[in-house]
Amino acid sequence: MNATYFRIELARVMRDVVSMFFVAVLPAFMYVIFGAVQDYGSADIGNGNVAAYVMIGMAAYGAVTATVGVGGSAAVEQMQGWGRQLGLTPMSDAQRVTTKAAVGFVIAIIPVVAIFVIGALTGAEAEPHVWILSGVLVLVGAAVFSFFGLLAGLLFRSEGAVGAASGSLVILGFLGNVFFPLDGVMLDIARFTPLYGIVALARYPLTEGFAASMTDGSVSQESLWVPIANVVFWGAVLVIATILLARRGRSRQ
């Protein structure tokens, strides 16, 4: 990793007020609205309360938004010739990739830390191990989803496409049980969507797979393999598709 390039890229991303709003401010605001100020936020759930459940989901949404944006911009820069310009510097390809990955990781930490701190100050409660494990799992899931941004950048080669990919996370969030609990047929559909596994896995230390139906109040437990299988499947799809598109792009040059 190149320290100078890392510092420049990190400063560039953090100066983008619009991006940072969607990465950190909006998810934190949504946590406050849907978790902290609601009466049900103090209700017990697993190893904590509902506010913590909402908090983890919003932290995951913010972290994924961060990595999708950074990953997508990296792909667009490469396709538009910035990679050739950097090729004139002493930096190797490996250094450029690891530097971009480091920037994405640091940006993803911002919403997780911010929302967890706000959660701790506004009534989110959970066992100590939940805070640690859920935070780590959120960051791991966000790293996997960075390939979604790379894929969008390689496929459409424009900043607008990357913005559209980030915007599509809102739809995927609603479909993936991120913003509010789903049940019945909608939950069955959610299990096949890309964001479901990341968020369900991050919430597992809190819920241990237990969920109550919003319609009849019945309680069910989901096996751990379900979110793991979702993450592995969609991770493989995104990685393979990104590699294939990158190879096709190089073959055309």
* Residue with more model confidence, 13 or 202: 202
Residue 225, sorted as left (phi over 0), alpha (psi -120 to 50) or beta, turns out to be: alpha
Which tokens go with 117? 């701190």
The pLDDT confidence band at residue 214, using thresholds 50, 70 and 90, is: low
Strand partners, 126: 48
Which stretches of 157-224 are DSSP H helices? 159-175, 184-190, 194-207
- pLDDT tens readout for residues 92-148: 555 666 777 788 888 999 999 999 999 999 999 999 999 999 999 999 999 888 888
- What would the mean pLDDT of 146-171 be, rounded to a whole number? 78
- What would the mean pLDDT of 179-208 be, rounded to a whole number? 92
State the residue range of the domain holding 234. Answer: 3-252
The pLDDT confidence band at residue 159, using thresholds 50, 70 and 90, is: low
CA 45/CA 51 separation, integer angstroms:
9
Lowest mean pLDDT among 33-37, 77-81, 249-253: 249-253
Q: Is residue 7 predicted with pLDDT exceeding 90?
A: no
CA 42/CA 15 separation, integer angstroms:
36
Q: Is 123 helix (H, G, I), strand (E, B) or coil?
A: coil
Contact 64, 140 (CB under 8 A): no
* Rounded CA Rg of the chain: 19
Q: Is residue 9 predicted with pLDDT exceeding 80?
A: no
Q: Is residue 90 predicted with pLDDT exceeding 60?
A: no
> How many angstroms separate the Cα of 187 from the Cα of each of 46, 80, 173, 181, 184?
19, 40, 12, 8, 5
Contact 196, 176 (CB under 8 A): yes
Is the pTM higher than 0.75? The answer reads yes
CA 136/CA 130 separation, integer angstroms:
10
Q: Taking all residues of the chain, what is their mean pLDDT, rounded to a whole number?
A: 83
- Give the highest mean pLDDT range of 70-79, 143-152, 160-169, 227-236: 227-236
The pLDDT confidence band at residue 14, using thresholds 50, 70 and 90, is: confident
- What would the mean pLDDT of 38-48 be, rounded to a whole number? 89
Residue 126 DSSP code: B
* Domain total of the chain: 1
